[in-house]
Amino acid sequence: MAYLELNNIYKTYGQGDTETEVLSNINLSIEEGEFVAIVGFTGSGKTTLVNLINGLIEPSKGEVLFKGQPVQGTSHERGVIFQNYSLLPWLTVGQNVYMAVKEAFPKKSKKELNEIVANYVEMVSLTPAINKRPKELSGGMRQRVAVARALAMKPEMIIMDEPLGALDALTRGNLQDEILNIWEQDKRTALLITNDVDEGIYMADRIIPLRPGPNATLGPEFKIDIERPRDKTELNDDANFKETRNAIIEYLMDIGNERKSEAQEAYVLPELEPKSFIGRFK
Amino acid sequence: MGLGFLGTIKDLFTGKLEKEDFISFLRKVVVPLASILLFIGLWHMGSQSLYNIEAEFKIEKALEDQGPAAAEALRECIASGESGCQPNTLPSPSQVWASYQSLLRDHNIISADKAAFIEKTAVLNEKRIAEGKEPITYTGRPSFVDQIFRSLKTVFAGFLLALLIAVPLGIFIGLSPTLKSAFNWFIQIFKPVSPVVWYLLVFMIVKTVLIDSNEDSSFTISFISVGLCSMWATLVNTAMGVSSVDKDYINVAKVLKLGSFQKIFKVVLPSSLPLIFTGLKITLSVAWMVLIAIELLAQSPGLGLFVWEEFQNGANDSNAKIIVAMFVIGIIGFLLDRLMLTIQNWVSFDKTDAI
């Protein structure tokens, strides 16, 4: 039995004529301890897929099974790192993390909770900024707070929705390493949603492309057989890496082009004779 | 801080002003001062010409009704500045200033009188309290400054009432779409009702409720009317703020599995605080604005009643006193607005300077 299982998931929004099917026939199974990346274009329904798995929304058809049980609402077992950080701006870094920890471990004393907060803030190296508010932090620091908040709840599975999408390339690289380190420490199951193929290959055991929506569905999976720990600079010369990367990009480009040609067919311009204005204005 | 311009003036006197700040100093201090002077100049000329029109008309009328001798006497009387025959029109800035000073003098006299009264009755009052009787209180005429404080008291009581009604109600309406549709018609219909009508409505109710009481109910009526009149901005803003909390924050609350109590107090309320405060700011300024009209109707002591009594009084300096009251009302309104802005900036997580 897989750790997380998605069986024949369909998700539609709207009703009647305006009904659009965002996800159709999604099948996915993730084993315990695995790191899976789903790669797709922006607007292809990735966030919808994430929200289905973390329990924020329900599928229109099909079922999401977590450890064999259907997912009903959110759970502390599945930690979420949101795309746009989603930190509460009126709380400090420490308070943001504390709020999550307090909900996850309601029986612990205040002192124990504060220790957990301090540990995780230290882990993302933000201890000097623990009393700052999100507004005073850079994008990378904010995302690190979001990482600390999600991990401090000690979830069994981490779900990341384009966690590094809004960051610059250098910060992105650092945070990728940080997330990998944390993941390797206690081998939690991880699901990463991203639009960056390189990021997926660098971090994941398996990459599954998402064919863009409407009617988004998962494509064939690509196994990444590169030894961990992976080195970013060496990776560029790795034949295996290049091959996988090219295969995934080719696949994505192909479905991208397919979409484009479909779209072109849909908008055939009517044949019109331009009116002649010669001699009309005297 | 809402009083940033004071800092610039302080810098000027402490010599901290850099040369680069000179232009900003010109813009922030010199231009407003110049425009104030211009305003006073225009006011002076305007009141002068109104005075002349009124005087000419009076003399003309005397000439028609009573003949040339009376007209000449009147002309001399006006020129001599005797108070009995002065034209009654817009007072000039200097007259207003003189009235202001006379009001202050009046206040000092009344305060001294009051202090003397308290001193005189202190021993007697102690005895009366010991005997279980009511102490004798000063019942003399309130001074202008006393009226200001009465008005502030009314406005704060009304504001507090508005806050206590509108904020909780707004939260409930914002949280529940059912309550929202139940209350929507109510809000839409009662929001535009004029202060005068609110006063009459409150009067009808309070009069009956307090039918057995011998106390003067004018204060109660006026503060309730002020509160009901001004609470709408807060009610609407609170409901809007609560119902339009960023979806990301709601998702966080869901993922952390916050209970509904926690969700309201840790996520919904903090995130709608800026809008609630914008509403409260509008409420306070509306409260101060309608206060004058309501005090006037309710005969409740305060600036509104002061203005009305001066108008009815029709004494020589009544018009000038009304203008003094107008400026005092305006300045206090401005200060209240700044006060709210300061509190808003202090409370709000969003530190961008609100206007």
Chain segment B16-26, per-residue pLDDT in tens: 666 667 777 78
Question: Of B83, B99, B120, which residue constitutes the final position of a domain?
Answer: B83
> Which candidate from B266, B271, B350 shows the least CB-CB separation from A99?
B266
Mean of pLDDT values over A21-35: 86
Query: Does pLDDT of B264 surpass 50?
Result: yes
Domain of B114, in residue numbers: 91-141
Residue B1 has pLDDT above 60, yes or no: no
> Pick the residue with more confidence: A166 or B264?
B264
Residue B59 lies in a domain: yes
Instruction: Residue B350: list chain A partners with CB under 8 A.
Output: 89, 135
Residue of B nearest to A149 (CA): B256
CB contact under 8 A, B254 and A133: no
Most distant pair of Cα atoms in chain B: their distance: 94
Say if residue B280 is in the same domain as residue B184.
yes
Considering only CB atoms, B349 lies closest to which of A56, A75, A89, namely A89
How many structural domains compose chain B?
A: 3
Q: Are both B193 and B298 inside the same structural domain?
A: yes
pLDDT at B3: 59
The tens digit of pLDDT for each residue in B108-149 reads: 998 888 888 888 888 888 888 888 777 777 777 888 888 899
AA identity, residue B57: F
Domain CATH for B189: 1.10.3720.10
> What's the confidence (pLDDT) of residue B299?
83
**Per-residue confidence (pLDDT) for residue A67, from 0 to 100:** 86
**Element housing B108 (H / E):** helix B93-130
Cβ distance of A86 and B271 shorter than 8 Å? no
Domain's final residue, options B59, B83, B107: B83
Residues from chain A contacting residue B267 (CB–CB below 8 Å): 88
Non-local CB neighbours of A137 within 8 Å, separated by 6+ positions:
A93, A129, A145
The chain A residue lying nearest B247, using CA atoms, is A86
Selecting from A76, A86, A88 the residue whose C-beta is nearest the C-beta of B257 gives A76
Of B257, B270, B271, which is closest to A103 when you measure between CB atoms?
A: B257
pLDDT at B68: 84
pLDDT at B34 over 90: yes
Mean pLDDT of chain B, nearest integer: 85
Same domain, residue pair B154 and B114: no
Query: What integer is the mean pLDDT of B252-267?
Result: 88
Q: What is the mean pLDDT of residues B216-232?
A: 88
| pLDDT above 60 (res A217) | yes
Given this model, what pLDDT does residue B355 score? 37
Going by pLDDT thresholds of 50, 70 and 90, the confidence category of residue B330 is: very high
Residues of B with CB under 8 A from a CB of A: 248-249, 251-252, 254-258, 262, 266-267, 270-271, 273, 349-351
Shared domain for B225 and B241, answered yes or no, is yes
Summarised one tens digit per residue, pLDDT across range B78-110 is: 887 777 777 888 888 998 999 999 999 989 998
Q: Domain for residue B264, yes or no?
A: yes
User: Closest Cα to residue A175, out of A194, A156, A157, A153?
Assistant: A194
Please list, in sequence order, all residues whose beta carbon lies within 8 angstroms of the beta carbon of residue A248, skipping any fewer than 6 positions away. A39, A197, A200, A201, A207, A209, A222
Q: What is the pLDDT of residue A220?
A: 82
- What are the tens digits of pLDDT across the range A244-259? 888 888 888 887 777 7
Residues of A in contact with B276 (CB under 8 A): none
The pLDDT value recorded for residue B352 is 46
B173 and B215 fall within a common domain: yes
- Considering the domain architecture, whether residues B68 and B122 belong to the same structural domain is answered as no
The yes-or-no verdict on residue A97 having pLDDT over 60 is: yes
Do B310 and B221 share a structural domain?
yes
* pLDDT value for B167: 93
SS3 B299: coil
For the stretch A172-215, pLDDT in tens is: 888 888 888 888 887 788 999 988 888 888 888 899 888 876 67
CB contact under 8 A, A74 and B273: no
Residue A109 Cα, gap to closest chain B Cα (Å): 18
Whether residue B119 is contained in a domain is answered as yes
Report, as an integer, the average pLDDT of A165-176.
Answer: 80
Residues B343 and B260 reside in one and the same domain: yes
- Do residue B167 and residue B254 come from a single domain? yes
- Mutation pick from A53, A88, A149 vs chain B, by most beta carbons of B within 10 Å, is A88
Q: What is the pLDDT of residue B327?
A: 93
Strand ranges, E, within chain B: none
One domain, residues B137 and B156: no
Q: Is the ipTM of this complex over 0.90?
A: no
Q: Is residue B176 assigned to a domain?
A: yes
Chain mean pLDDT for chain A:
83
* Structural domain includes residue B31: yes
- Mean pLDDT over A87-102 rounds to 91
Q: Is residue B352 part of a domain?
A: no
Residue B333 predicted with pLDDT over 50: yes
Last residue of a domain, one of B53, B83, B113: B83
B353 occurs within a structural domain? no
**Which residues on chain A place their C-beta less than 8 Å from a C-beta of chain B?**
54, 56, 73-76, 79-80, 82, 84, 86, 88-91, 99-100, 103-104, 133, 135, 153
Shared domain check, B263 and B187: yes
**A interface test, pick of B246, B256, B261, B348 with most A CB neighbours within 10 Å:** B256
pLDDT, position A33: 86
Residue B308 C-beta-side C-alpha neighbours within 13 Å: 16
Alpha carbon of A238: minimum distance to chain B alpha carbons (Å): 39
Clarify whether residues B117 and B168 are in a common domain: no
Which pLDDT value is given to residue B259? 86
Give domain status of residue B354, yes or no: no
Distance from CA of B243 to the nearest CA of A (A): 17
Report long-range pairs for B308-316 (Cβ below 8 Å, ≥24 apart). B314/B88, B316/B83, B316/B84, B316/B86
Distance CA A228, CA A233 (A): 14
Tell me how far CA of residue B240 lies from CA of A244, B120, B274, B331, in angstroms: 51, 57, 11, 31
